[in-house]
Amino acid sequence: MEGEKSTKKGLKIGIAGKGGVGKTLVASTLARLAGRSGKFKRVLAIDNDPSLNLGMALGIPLNKIGAPIAEMKDLIKERTGRAPGEGGAFKLNPLVSDIPDKFAVPGPDNVRLLVLGTIKDPGSGCLCSSNALVRELLYHLVVQRDELVILDFEAGIESSMGRATSKGLDLLFVVVEPGQKAIQVGEKITAMAKQLNIKHVLAIINKVENEEEEKNIVQDLKERGMDVFASIPRSNAVIEADLKGIPLIDFRENDVAVGAMKGILDNVVKKYYN
């Protein structure tokens, strides 16, 4: 297979940002482009966002995806000894190494999707066995898997990633768009990520109208301690593809936004995949 050419170590990339900034678009398009590139043994896309939209963004039919791991009560009980909501002791380090291969769903361009769901707030009820399984699985995916793993995070990454897991993440892309709400959320995520000692925390500016706007946002982010890796121009094709329920890369492969994300992937491979 073309994707088996690479003999290099895997690469782990997280994508985070405020809802609506386009992080799922970035995660899905980077995964599809990586699957086409032949530079990685395998490409695994992880949905850890409450909206659970990554599958559709990749082009996988909803009826093929199934329930998130965090909601598989039988699996959680089998691996931890306790179903969500049950009292009593449970395993904090359950067996998870076989879960990605058993439950990942094949998608276009040799990308596979694993839907984790989110880690519940421990204060919302006794769902600790579910949290234990998802946390251990995240650790396995980020630290131990030898492949390209792209994680579409919920905004509050600190609830998903412990320090041991975060150290295995090679890159965290914080996606922002023009507007103070998105930038402020991006600033908070960046601060959290740095506290977790993630190796490289870099901003991607999405939906950029023109060079002047990009220049102003880059300066704003710089003043907030955020390093900008790349920008993606605003494209009407993104909206049109979304209305049709088609991944952008399938709707208009040569769109400027796809081209910008191909540039991002090429630069990631050049700078961080060695």
Q: Cα(119)–Cα(179) distance, rounded to whole angstroms?
A: 28
pLDDT for res 2: 32
Of 188, 191, 79, 88, give the one whose Cα is nearest residue 140.
79
Q: Which residue has the higher pLDDT, 146 or 49?
A: 146
Condensed to tens digits (0 to 9), the pLDDT of residues 124-183 reads: 444 589 889 998 999 999 999 989 999 998 766 766 677 778 888 999 999 999 999 999
Could you tell me the CA-to-CA distances from 245 to 153, 191, 240, 241, 242 in Å, in that order? 21, 34, 9, 6, 5
- Domain at 44, CATH number: 3.40.50.300
Condensed to tens digits (0 to 9), the pLDDT of residues 199-252 reads: 899 999 999 999 999 999 999 999 999 999 999 999 999 999 999 999 999 999
Condensed to tens digits (0 to 9), the pLDDT of residues 3-37 reads: 333 334 689 999 999 999 999 999 999 999 999 99
Max CA separation in the chain (angstroms): 59
User: Domain total for the chain?
Assistant: 1
Q: Which domain holds residue 169?
A: 2-272
Give the global pTM.
Answer: 0.92
pLDDT for res 84: 85
pLDDT for res 40: 92
